[in-house]
Amino acid sequence: MTAPSPPALRVGFAGTPPFAASALAALVRAGYTIPLVLSRPDRPKDRGMTLAASPVKALAQSHAIAVMQPASLKAEAARAEIVAQPLDVLVVAAYGLILPRQVLDWPRFGCINIHASLLPRWRGAAPIARAIEAGDNETGVTIMQMDEGLDTGAMIEHRAMAIDARETAGSLHDKLAALGARVLVDVLARLSASGALAAVAQPQEGVTYAHKLAREDARIDWTRDALAIDRAVRAFDPWPAAWTTLAGSALKVWQAHALLDASPGDAPPGSVLRAGAQGIDVACGNSVIRLDEVQASNARRMPAAAFVAGRAIAPHTVLGA
């Protein structure tokens, strides 16, 4: 006699940005029943400052899935209507609100989170950028059972991925979003089949924190060596974008690479050594970096050679002065 199929899971979803939308799309494709989606309130966007739905909300609405957008989950009144909806599991991906105990205990199998690192390394808000900035060779995704700590829950599944030599935060984000979506579907298939999820506690060793990005983090420190600056340029692409100043105005740096055989001589860090068709060569901590693509204020991104052609930069000009 054939065993009956396990009952369909009622899967709630909480998320806001594109990373989370990839996971929600995978759940829709897999055919899960999704009674409810939580997302952050609409926010002003672009120069017109018109309110815009998050990528998760827009995707949910395109599939006629109910969406709720509480500004906070701290108040009992804000939670009451949400937790009244019966769920088997709540998937959380880059939601942006802290889940109080009442919400964590709401679904039958609890809340599970997709985190874009190999925990316990890079707990926190910006694991993708911080991994590139630190020069990590690999990262990955972790599916964990959520608790009240900051990314401290027991691990259900993790998958590793190499970080390519010229990876940016934007390119790595897209790869990890796709990987996280696939791993999530695998985990939920196991839950549907067995009615349980095995999880192991995170190790106490190797904990690091990926602090939230701020614009000031992306200011280029020319006293650092060229390889570190190169990593920072890639880590802060697309946001907040590495930047410095030229003649008192902000200059974003979108692409750069270390000139490993070049020496800055006695030039102070930030000094322009050469500026021409090859790009802009800048002295930094005991090394030289070449700026390949830049963007002045209120201008478009362009090759550094084109920028120099339209604006002469004298040798010994100091960036960031």
**CA distance readout (Å), 107 to 3, 145, 174, 182:** 26, 12, 29, 22
- Give me the long-range contacts of 67-73 (CB less than 8 A, separation at least 24): 67/36, 67/37, 67/38, 67/39, 68/36, 68/37, 68/38, 68/39, 69/38, 69/39, 69/40, 69/41, 69/42, 70/38, 70/41, 70/97, 71/41, 72/97, 73/97, 73/98, 73/99, 73/100, 73/103
Tokens describing residue 305: 């050679």
Whole-angstrom distance, CA of residue 35 vs CA of residue 59: 14
Under-50 pLDDT residues of the chain: 1, 3-6
Whole-angstrom distance, CA of residue 14 vs CA of residue 56: 8
Query: Tokens 């608790």 correspond to what residue?
Result: 147
* pLDDT digits 0-9 by tens, 159-210: 999 999 999 999 999 999 999 999 999 999 999 999 999 999 999 999 999 9
Burial category of 154 from C-beta neighbours within 10 Å (exposed 0-12, middle 13-18, buried 19 and up) = middle
pLDDT (0 to 100) of residue 315: 84
Closest to 295 in 3D by CA, of 257, 260, 256, 264: 256
Instruction: Please state, for a pLDDT cut of 70, what percent of the chain lies above it.
Output: 98
Using alpha carbons only, give the angle 239, 74, 214 rounded to the nearest 5 degrees: 15
Instruction: Please state, for a pLDDT cut of 90, what percent of the chain lies above it.
Output: 91
Identify whether the C-beta of residue 281 lies closer than 8 Å to the C-beta of residue 288.
yes
Whole-angstrom distance, CA of residue 59 vs CA of residue 28: 10
pLDDT (0 to 100) of residue 8: 83
pLDDT (0 to 100) of residue 53: 96
pLDDT (0 to 100) of residue 5: 47
CB within 8 Å of 222: residues ≥ 6 apart: 229, 244, 269, 270, 282, 283, 284, 285, 319, 320
| Backbone φ, ψ for residue 78 (5° rounding) | -70, -30
